[in-house]
Chain A
């Protein structure tokens, strides 16, 4: 009798091991959760709906989690796994202020951040670690998915524009820890740049009636890259503990998104700037 596990089980085990290394497995880790809300200014330009830029206000809801990735397979403790859920809604007006447009959507991002070894610093990696270095720099890939749309309340057969993309981004984050008001504060700046992926767009003069009711597709799912979708997202936050030894911190920040595309001769930008406020909690998980 062959006592070796059947091939398919060995393959499954190997896959699970690789997957666990990818998403991270640790006996004990610190996990931070942040929830922020904010409001600010928006500039929306979509030539499918209007040749002009609409301006107005914007609200954001941002949920972030971060935890270290530790696994015997990874052989490093410099990796951090981050998720970002960003819900935004913009209410903007035409230059003549006689038309309203509503733009909104949800972006969900997964990031794998590697802490660069800086000269003269320790190798501690986690932003919530009390012994961490004052300044750390993290880089890595990000996988982000967006679904949303824009609605123009004046247009007839082209009143709305759907927006969707699935992108591989490059993200970089710098953190600086310092003492302020006898509290250990953290200043963080993170930027993400979409590199390549796929995105949805109608054809230049295509109606949604053709695309969806009649099912006439025409270059509606496109290869997106930094050339036709030159975009970036920025996040600047300051964490101030509520009490000196508190694991709950007040988070103040700025979220700036500069999303752009040139697909099928249609031009689009969505620039938003929002002042954010929220709370961050650090939890120890077994």
Chain B
């Protein structure tokens, strides 16, 4: 045993675990670090290559030529943002003290299909509508319930949802409007969805990376949604979506599409089906990237959005008249 100790000591001294990524705080060092972080951790390379032709090695060659020793922080930031923008992923961001790098083409390239002032008219004023945590709701004139949920960052409990559904129980149907809801907590999204199913429902699959290779993934694990224990809605629902439905909202729409009483109406959602993680560059800029893949119940990607059951664009004449094309179409669908 006393001969083993020096051997172990020698073995340990020779096996220090240290940094492997480029650590030089230079334009070249930061560029290489960003490229390598994405190369080893980003979860959609194969899908993005197939859908939009991104070749990450070619990206390195092309953007590497734009890196120069004397470039300013702002110039470096611009080049690095352009590089990660190639992935067209709203969850891929570069954070510095002076700017937040992003590619928000998932909604910037498309019509808004949303006017907040018109929605406010439907909600009314004063006590015309109620607010249960993050949920605004009222009964419209034709006995249709209208629910507006602006962000899944606003926490909402089963009790809030049950109170709201109980108050709307006399309605012929329910409109849930998640347009411009940019996401937030998956837990909030699933909690709300669980009030619209009576059965345990397969709503998708998850998988994560198991190594640095672009194809190193765990086996897809099924995701089931359990019915809520509180009030559960038993009548038709129309879910309104647009391109700004992103991340957790995209997941919410994906779940709701599995329920037989739910019809989705509007524009395609914005996608963002990867759960983002954060790492950093030698200069301290944060790097946000999609790390965990969420597939739908048919094991298909929803990274570029979920198609609604009834595609619809806002009508200019409706907008001019102060009407919301989506809400009016949903009301017609819900009439008995």
Residues of A within 8 A of B210 (CB): 203-205, 218, 264-265
- A205: which of B2, B186, B292 is its contact (CB, 8 Å)? B292
> Quick check: is B131 within 8 A (CB to CB) of the other chain?
no
> Do the beta carbons of A158 and B284 come within 8 Å of each other?
no
| B37 vs chain A, min Cβ distance (A) | 7
- B276: which of A49, A157, A203, A214 is its contact (CB, 8 Å)? A157
> Do the beta carbons of A207 and B292 come within 8 Å of each other?
yes
User: In the bound complex, how far is the Cα of B212 from the Cα of A203, in angstroms?
Assistant: 12
> Do the beta carbons of A170 and B5 come within 8 Å of each other?
yes
A-B contact count (CB 8 A): 139
| A150 vs chain B, min Cβ distance (A) | 14
Interface size on A, residues (CB 8 A): 48
User: In the bound complex, how far is the Cα of B321 from the Cα of A264, in angstroms?
Assistant: 59
Residues of A within 8 A of B284 (CB): 94-99
Interface majority SS (helix, strand, loop, mixed), chain B: mixed
> Do the beta carbons of A205 and B206 come within 8 Å of each other?
no
Which residue of chain A has the shortest Cβ distance to B293 in the bound complex? A205
Contact bitstring A182-217, B, C-beta under 8 A = 1, else 0: 000000000101000000000111110110011010
User: In the bound complex, how far is the Cα of B8 from the Cα of A53, in angstroms?
Assistant: 25
> Quick check: is B41 within 8 A (CB to CB) of the other chain?
yes
Residues of B within 8 A of A218 (CB): 208, 210, 218
Q: In the complex, given contacts A51-B280, A204-B209, A214-B206, what are 13 additional A-B residue pairs having Cβ atoms less than 8 angstroms apart?
A: A45-B19, A51-B19, A52-B280, A98-B97, A157-B276, A170-B4, A172-B5, A203-B209, A205-B292, A214-B223, A265-B210, A269-B17, A269-B18
Chain B residues near A (Cβ < 8 Å):
1-2, 4-5, 8-9, 11-12, 15-21, 23, 25, 33, 37, 41, 43, 97, 186-187, 206, 208-212, 216, 218, 221, 223, 275-280, 282-284, 286, 288, 291-292
Chain A residues near B (Cβ < 8 Å):
45, 49-53, 94-99, 116, 137, 139, 154-158, 170, 172, 191, 193, 203-207, 209-210, 213-214, 216, 218, 226, 230-232, 258, 260-262, 264-265, 267-269
